[in-house]
Amino acid sequence: MPRESNVMDQIKRSQVWKSIFRHDIPSDDRGRAQTVLSNIFLHLHPVRTPKSGIRVRYTWCMGGLTFFIFLVETVTGILLMFYYRPTLEFAYTDLIDLGEQVPLGIMREIHRWGAHAMVLSVWLHMLRVFMTGAYKPPREFNWAVGVILLLLTLFLSFTGYLLPWDQLAIWAVTVGTNMARATPFMGSEGPGAAFLKFGDINLVHAGSDARYALLAGRFVGEGTLLRFYVLHCLAVPFIAALLMAVHFWRVRKDGGISGPL
Amino acid sequence: MSEEGKTDLSSFDQISDRVARAKAKAEAMRAAKAAAGGGAPAAPKPAGPSTERPPAQKAEPVSAAPQAAEPPVSAPEAAPAERKTPPPRRAAPAQAAAAPAAPPAMSTLEKAAATRRQRAAAISRAALETRAAEPAEAALSRRGFFSWLAVAWVAFTAAAAAGGAAMTRFLFPNVLFEPPQVFKAGLPEDYDVGKVDERWKEKFAVWVVRNEQGIYALSTTCTHLGCTPNWLEAENKFKCPCHGSGFYRTGINFEGPAPRPLERYRVVLADDGQILVDKTVKYQQEKGQWDDPESFLKLA
């Protein structure tokens, strides 16, 4: 039976409204489930969560916190990119200006504290998953994805550490990348590298090994700064975001968040 | 732990358990009140099947302070809730007794409906009794939940707004790495009569032109689409490389797509005798602004 039409009804019947909102305001469980499933942001979260899954004492909320910090790092990082230039001439002075001249100089500090907090929360998340046995079948693959995400988090911290371009950064990265010399087969001083040669010609030497690829040279220089900048702002976050999608997806597909044993 | 892990609130076992527990607590509280009124300390123990959450905690302050006129702690909360409770509680046994005694001629559907009604009544009864009996320990009430929800949303909105404002502010730097809008262009004697001077073109985007009467400052921005024209000394004109607009040395346009003359800037003598060019004030010929005394620095 036709209802007296008012403005809201007309809006709700319009093609624009219907193309955006597929469901009415849900009034039953089925409607609520459908609303969640048809929304890209809500569907990341399971439709039903076991009560234990929202117990802070069980999950420590560390996975969610890590994702939240990742979002904070993304937002503050994009804002910093508006001012920072990864060149020998400007990198350090832009950094000083970010603290002293640009409004809200705390932005870079938020980014830095966030980075520390994220490393901590990732470790604690790993500890929680280990202690509750949540890595056990059928969740072994997601544990492996999580380990890669941990390494990516550490690599993000490492690449970000060079960007201030002060003495601390340059020498820390010099020392850190020295480890790449010892990469098996791919590092000039690593095991197996000596076997990769044609006669007298070494295939893996200081000018062709993993460290060289990382530094874009034999020592930390302008090429390194640009390379670490691109890795830090684009490459690693992209891979991490992809793996995070896989990680969250697998949590759902492996039977939801694990319950207390 | 295992009991809390269950989420199914429609489970009959759980509800009857909660009702029993609630009743036990109500009994305990009544006993405590009576004890407090009579001045004799009492230590009531619940007779309910659950021993997980002994309600004795609530009775303790009463027995510890028997001289108190009012029963402390939970009494103010319990009192208004209890006022609402009596009818359903008294009616409950009658209903419960009546329901199983339904006529045997009932169809399956009718039976199902009766069961549903019964179940609904049990749930609402349980909710009311629970609220009446364990006010301090009960789960967050509906009203309390919504007020916390409101606080949470207000806090979230405020934080989001503050974050958005901070991000917007961050985009407006306090220090600019670009040439100032007002600059001193040296002494009038530095400029030759009849010359278009290009020394400030690159840094400040200004031509300083000296003629017999004085000095004016021309903008180097083409009025067509904003390119920078070149001064062609041999042809005595400004010529824009983008679309071929041409301007006389006065700045008046005479060829190409430019719709109006070049703009002039404010030009005055500073206290130290230098020429001061102020790009924040511009004068447009088509608006008759070139008659303004400060658009042209008269020199004897």
For B256-299, what is each residue's pLDDT tens digit?
999 999 999 999 999 999 999 999 999 999 999 999 999 999 98
Q: Hey, is the C-beta of B168 within 8 angstroms of any chain A C-beta?
A: no
Tell me the β-bridge partners of B298: B214
A44 domain residue, yes or no:
no
Selection from A43, A21, A89 nearest residue A253 by Cα: A43
What's the average model confidence in pLDDT over B26-31? 79
Identify the CATH number of the domain in which residue A128 sits. 1.20.810.10
A15 domain residue, yes or no:
no
Contacts of B167 in chain A (CB under 8 A): 75, 79
What is the pLDDT, as a whole number, of residue A261?
Answer: 62
Q: Do the chains contact at A259 and B7, CB–CB below 8 Å?
A: no
What is the pLDDT, as a whole number, of residue B243?
Answer: 95
DSSP-assigned states of every residue in B92-105: HHHHHHHGGG--TT
- A129 to chain B, minimum CA–CA distance in Å? 19
Q: Do the chains contact at A103 and B5, CB–CB below 8 Å?
A: no
Q: Do the chains contact at A101 and B6, CB–CB below 8 Å?
A: no
Selection from A53, A61, A121 nearest residue A257 by Cα: A53
Task: Give me the residue from A51, A103, A259 closest to B170, CB to CB.
Answer: A103
Distance CA A146, CA A140 (A): 10
Distance CA B62, CA B34 (A): 10
What is the pLDDT, as a whole number, of residue B65?
Answer: 42
Q: How confident is the model at residue B133 (pLDDT cuts 50, 70, 90)?
A: low
Residues of chain B with pLDDT > 90, as a percent, come to 49
Neighbour count for residue A85 (Cβ, 10 Å):
13
What is the Cα Rg of chain A in Å? 25
* A15-29, A135-149, B73-87, B150-164: least confidently modelled range: B73-87
What is the pLDDT, as a whole number, of residue B136?
Answer: 52
| Three-class DSSP labels, B28-56 | HHHHHHHHHHHCCCCCCCCCCCCCCCCCH
Polymer length of chain B: 300
Helices A62-81 and B142-170, axial angle in degrees (round to 10)? 20
Best of A101, A108, A257 to disrupt the B interface (most B CBs within 10 Å) is A101
Residues of chain A with pLDDT > 70, as a percent, come to 97
CATH 2.102.10.10, chain B: domain bounds: 182-298
Superfamily in which the B182-298 domain is placed by CATH? Rieske [2Fe-2S] iron-sulphur domain (2.102.10.10)
Contacts of B174 in chain A (CB under 8 A): 101-103
Contacts of residue A215, Cβ cutoff 8 Å, sequence gap at least 6: A177, A221, A223, A224, A227
Q: Do the chains contact at A103 and B174, CB–CB below 8 Å?
A: yes
Characterize A235-259 residue by residue with b for buried, 16 or more Cβ atoms within 10 angstroms of its Cβ, and e for exposed: ebbeebeeebeebbebbeebeebbe
Residue A41 scores a pLDDT above 90: no
Helix, strand or coil for residue B158? helix
- A171 to chain B, minimum CA–CA distance in Å? 30
Closest residue in chain B to residue A259, using alpha carbons only: B5
Angle at A240 (CA atoms; ends A238, A246), nearest 5 degrees:
110
* Domain region containing A122: 54-252
* A15-24, B111-120, B229-238: least confidently modelled range: B111-120
- Does A106 or B10 have the greater pLDDT score? A106
What is the pLDDT, as a whole number, of residue B74?
Answer: 45
Q: Do the chains contact at B169 and A83, CB–CB below 8 Å?
A: no
Distance CA B191, CA B85 (A): 99
Distance CA A243, CA A70 (A): 13
DSSP-assigned states of every residue in A138-196: T-HHHHHHHHHHHHHHHHHHHHHHHTT-SHHHHHHHHHHHHGGGGSTTTSTTSTTGGG-
Q: Hey, is the C-beta of B177 within 8 angstroms of any chain A C-beta?
A: no
Residue B135 scores a pLDDT above 70: no
What is the reported pTM? 0.66
Residue B87 scores a pLDDT above 70: no
What is the pLDDT, as a whole number, of residue A37?
Answer: 83
Helices vs strands, H then E, count in chain B: 8, 11
Distance CA B179, CA B198 (A): 16
A47 domain residue, yes or no:
no
Contacts of B169 in chain A (CB under 8 A): 103-104
Using one digit for the tens of pLDDT, what is the confidence trace for A104-119? 989 999 999 999 999 9
Distance CA A180, CA A191 (A): 12
- Which of the 8 DSSP states describes residue B174? S
Using one digit for the tens of pLDDT, what is the confidence trace for B153-181? 999 999 999 999 999 999 998 888 889 99
Whether residue A186 contacts residue A209, with contact meaning beta carbons closer than 8 Å, is answered with yes
* A157-171, B13-27, B134-148: least confidently modelled range: B13-27
What's the average model confidence in pLDDT over A22-29? 85
A17 domain residue, yes or no:
no
DSSP-assigned states of every residue in chain A: -PPPP-HHHHHHHSHHHHHH--S-S--SHHHHHHHHHT-TTGGGS-SS--GGGG-HHHHTTHHHHHHHHHHHHHHHHHHHHTT---STTTHHHHHHHHHHTSS-THHHHHHHHHHHHHHHHHHHHHHHHHHTTTTSTT-HHHHHHHHHHHHHHHHHHHHHHHTT-SHHHHHHHHHHHHGGGGSTTTSTTSTTGGG-EETTEESSSTTTSHHHHHHTSSSS-HHHHHHHHHIIIIIHHHHHHHHHHHHHHHHHHTTSSPPP-
What is the pLDDT, as a whole number, of residue B129?
Answer: 60
Characterize A170-197 residue by residue with b for buried, 16 or more Cβ atoms within 10 angstroms of its Cβ, and e for exposed: beebeeebeebbbbeebbbbbeebeeee
What's the average model confidence in pLDDT over A211-226? 93
- In A108-167, the residues whose Cβ lies within 8 Å of chain B are none
Residue A180 scores a pLDDT above 70: yes
Number of domains in chain A: 1
**pLDDT, averaged across chain B:** 76
ipTM of the complex: 0.77
What is the pLDDT, as a whole number, of residue B18?
Answer: 60
What is the pLDDT, as a whole number, of residue A48?
Answer: 74
A37 domain residue, yes or no:
no
Q: Hey, is the C-beta of B105 within 8 angstroms of any chain A C-beta?
A: no
